[in-house]
Amino acid sequence: MIMENPYGDNVNPSQHAAWEHGHTAAKAEQAEIVSGLVGYFVSESANYEQQYLSGTNDSARGSALGKCDAFTVAATKLAELL
């Protein structure tokens, strides 16, 4: 989410500094959330990859492979946001 400075260009320095501090904190929090989601998706992808490798029939293996791919794509797309 991109945050616009609500004070515009004609602001006193303390207002601008307060906005910058809040904006930086929000960006750090968003990055932490996205990073956590990437970690979760990578973990789930690895779990489904293991299910694929240990699958006993083609249907189960195909389902696990599809889920593995989906989580890998999701992790990749989220990582691009960082």
What pLDDT does 20 receive? 73
Domain boundaries, the chain: 41-82
Considering only CA atoms, which of 49, 78, 81, 80 is closest in space to residue 63?
49
> What DSSP character marks residue 4?
-
Confidence (pTM): 0.62
Q: Are 71 and 41 in contact (CB under 8 A)?
A: yes
Q: Any residues with CB less than 8 A from the CB of 5 and at least 6 apart, and which?
A: 11, 16, 19, 23
Query: What tens digit of pLDDT does each residue of 25-82 get?
Result: 778 888 888 888 898 989 999 988 898 888 788 888 888 888 999 989 989 888 887 7
